[in-house]
Structure 1
């Protein structure tokens, strides 16, 4: 049989609920839900809380231990995310914005944009970084329509089309 949770939550239920509403990110919200469930007395076992939140029992146990040892501020500090250093300079970001948002642009591919940045600023930007930045920030689709096949048979095409 699992052990009962024996921890005293010092914050009020109202404070925890307000923090839950203001919290950004599912991880912080789930951590606050654990404290709310314990404070309300809804759940008495870590396994029940873990099932409710869709997390592992070990995760819930670690959160409870973190809270009891270091408090709420430490529990809500999320240190995941990895190395998130920016690889594109401010000048390059300005140039990308100028080129992509220009209505009369002649850029047809990300490779072409990459070459323009290299020529004008002398900076090399990885294709993946440029592609993901443009897609995420500007929702861009730099695609060129391909020519229809020059040997296409019109009669064969009509067979596949519905009348």
Structure 2
């Protein structure tokens, strides 16, 4: 019969039912429920399971492939994305941190941008450099802040 799922579920129906109640995330509940429905014989095909769970067939197939290779634990762990890679790599950040602690090394964030471009070939925007230095490295530049304009009126 086409679409019949051949999956050897190691856990008993009772174990799966208990595990279903212990799941903290909706994703985990959904995956354990898929195994439970197959184990008790309520569903025989991936298509039927997809209709009940409201998921695409390929999603359920991917869950079961992970179950076959890594077991129940592997199926329940949801891989987290690492996010975007920082524009300025960590080794360069360490070097920059050392350079920032040298008095008078950089006066402005533009100086830091130029240093990054010339020394390390990193072309970072002013915003990236400012946020990295100020908030990630927690360093404030003590350079010249420019002349303040006075209104021409002196306080006496």
Output the TM-score relative to the length of structure 2. Answer: 0.51
Could you tell me which residue of structure 1 aligns to residue 50 of structure 2?
50
Query: Could you tell me how far 1:2 is from its partner in structure 2?
Result: 4.0
- Superposition pairs for residues 15-94 of structure 1, below 5 Å? 15-80=15-80, 82-83=82-83
Give the distance between the partners of 2:59 and 2:80, measured in 1 at CA.
14
Root-mean-square deviation (Å): 2.2
Q: Is the 8 A contact 1:50 1:60 kept in 2?
A: yes
Task: Please report how far the alpha carbon of residue 69 of structure 1 lies from its aligned counterpart in structure 2 after TM superposition.
Answer: 1.6
1:11 is paired with a residue whose SS is coil
CA distance in structure 2 between the aligned counterparts of 1:22 and 1:8, rounded to whole angstroms: 22
Q: Kindly provide the CA deviation profile for residues 106-160 of structure 1, in whole angstroms up to 9, marking residues without a partner as x.
A: xxxxxxxxxxxxxxxxx759xxxxxxxxxxxxxxxxxxxxxxxxxxxxxxxxxxx
- Between the aligned partners of 2:70 and 2:25, the Cα distance in structure 1 is 21
Larger gyration radius, structure 1 or structure 2: 2
Map of 2:147 onto structure 1? none
- Identify unmatched segments of 5+ residues in structure 2: 85-133, 137-156
Deviations 1:52-96 (A, max 9, x none): 111100000111111112110100111135549xxxxxxxxxxxx
- Number of aligned positions between the proteins: 88
Q: Deviations over 1:12-47 (max 9, x none)?
A: 111111111110111111110111011011111101
Partner of 1:156: none
Q: Secondary structure at the match of 1:71?
A: helix
- Counterpart CA distance in 2 for 1:42 and 1:82 is 38
Contact kept in structure 2, 1:17 and 1:36, CA below 8 Å: yes
Partner SS for 2:10: coil
Q: Report the counterpart of residue 4 of structure 2 in structure 1.
A: 4
Alignment of 1:120-131 (within 5 A): 124=135
Superposition TM-score, scaled by structure 1 size = 0.49
